[in-house]
Chains A and B, each alone.
Chain A
């Protein structure tokens, strides 16, 4: 899903960079207010994990391949899409600079697609679905949707760039990434359940619940 250099005109790349800088401004503010000492190792290992899964292209049907993204995973763990923006900025910068995976001119667009759209769609669809359908199906559908809509956003950006026709772009990108999304959904569920079993203190929803439980007792004291 990494858009290479040359697929988007430079002036449009500039617009995506401006959007990225605005998102980064809010994300860095979020980190200064919410990222405590305990979350530092988690952020580092998630960045390394996201790098590993994004660098590995697994075979899917129709002679193509795909990699998982993890935008929903990060946003759900931190209960904040801002965490996904920070982690994806780092990972995509390293991938572009050292490994030529994704362009440098298109870095802004790539972070918007995988970090911002992946994180926002993943977290808010998880929040909307958690009560009606339960935690595990909600994580699966949210992460599937996050990669599917990110891929469709790529098709729209490449249509705006004059690189792809809109209909065929939406169809093909949607089709390939709908398959990859199934693997993404399974992986996201597995990682979150594993984290909940081994380190429940690191999941933001448990921390928020703990703080909510502490408040009434503090008030009564």
Chain B
């Protein structure tokens, strides 16, 4: 990996983690556009057939404070970064094998 790419990854991780740290303080508890619309014009509710381990972007073992939210976001960012890198490596274009002259 060239150094420019290392700086790209480091810079992006810093920005993403800064968003994670700010998230518990700036995120709104109001319903999002879809939830609000559903409240106004529908009686349908979430079925709850699957319980996610870090539901509502909170890691319960850290309690209910802001750190539980920061940790959940940070874990998510690192999981997606790692899986994204792995996926791109697997899917990338392969160089054709060099033919002997």
The distance from the CB of B21 to the nearest CB of chain A, in whole angstroms, is 11
Which of A39, A87, A100 counts the most B-chain CB atoms under 10 A from its CB? A100
Which residues of chain A are within 8 angstroms of B12 by Cβ–Cβ distance? 45, 48-49
Q: From known contacts A41-B1, A44-B84, A94-B76, infer whether A5 and B48 are also in contact, taking CB-CB under 8 Å.
A: yes
B52:A98 contact, CB within 8 angstroms: yes
Which residues of chain B are within 8 angstroms of A31 by Cβ–Cβ distance? 88, 91-93
Interface members, chain B 47-63 (any A CB < 8 Å) = 47-57
Q: From known contacts A41-B85, A100-B55, A169-B41, infer whether A6 and B49 are also in contact, taking CB-CB under 8 Å.
A: yes
Residues 25-67 of chain B: 1 if any A CB is under 8 Å from the residue's CB, otherwise 0?
0111111111111101110111111111111110000000000
Q: Once the chains are docked, how many angstroms separate the CA of A181 from the CA of B4? A: 32
- Total count of chain A residues near the partner, CB < 8 A: 74
- Of the candidate stretches A61-69, A126-134, A203-211, A212-220, the one touching chain B is A61-69
The distance from the CB of B83 to the nearest CB of chain A, in whole angstroms, is 6
Interface of B is mostly: helix
Q: Once the chains are docked, how many angstroms separate the CA of A169 from the CA of B82? A: 37
Which of B30, B48, B56 counts the most A-chain CB atoms under 10 A from its CB? B30
Is A43 among interface residues, defined by CB-CB distance under 8 A?
Answer: yes
User: Which chain B residue shows the least CB distance to A158?
Assistant: B42
Is A197 among interface residues, defined by CB-CB distance under 8 A?
Answer: no
B81:A48 contact, CB within 8 angstroms: yes
Residues 14-40 of chain A: 1 if any B CB is under 8 Å from the residue's CB, otherwise 0?
000000000000001001111111111
Q: From known contacts A47-B80, A168-B40, infer whether A177 and B46 are also in contact, taking CB-CB under 8 Å.
A: no
A176:B36 contact, CB within 8 angstroms: yes
Residues 155-197 of chain A: 1 if any B CB is under 8 Å from the residue's CB, otherwise 0?
1001000011100110011001100100000000000000000
Q: Once the chains are docked, how many angstroms separate the CA of A96 from the CA of B79? A: 13
Q: From known contacts A42-B8, A100-B52, A172-B41, infer whether A55 and B91 are also in contact, taking CB-CB under 8 Å.
A: no
Which residues of chain B are within 8 angstroms of A168 by Cβ–Cβ distance? 37, 40-41
B20:A199 contact, CB within 8 angstroms: no
Is B68 among interface residues, defined by CB-CB distance under 8 A?
Answer: no
Residues 2-20 of chain B: 1 if any A CB is under 8 Å from the residue's CB, otherwise 0?
0011001100110110011
Which residues of chain B are within 8 angstroms of A169 by Cβ–Cβ distance? 37, 41
Q: Once the chains are docked, how many angstroms separate the CA of A118 from the CA of B50? A: 27
Is B77 among interface residues, defined by CB-CB distance under 8 A?
Answer: yes
Residues of B within 8 A of A (CB): 1, 4-5, 8-9, 12-13, 15-16, 19-20, 23, 26-38, 40-42, 44-57, 72-73, 75-85, 87-89, 91-94
Residues of A within 8 A of B (CB): 1-7, 28, 31-53, 55-60, 62-67, 86-87, 90-91, 94-101, 103-105, 151, 154-155, 158, 163-165, 168-169, 172-173, 176-177, 180, 199, 202
7 contacts between A and B (CB under 8 A): A45-B13, A48-B81, A51-B77, A59-B28, A64-B32, A91-B80, A154-B34
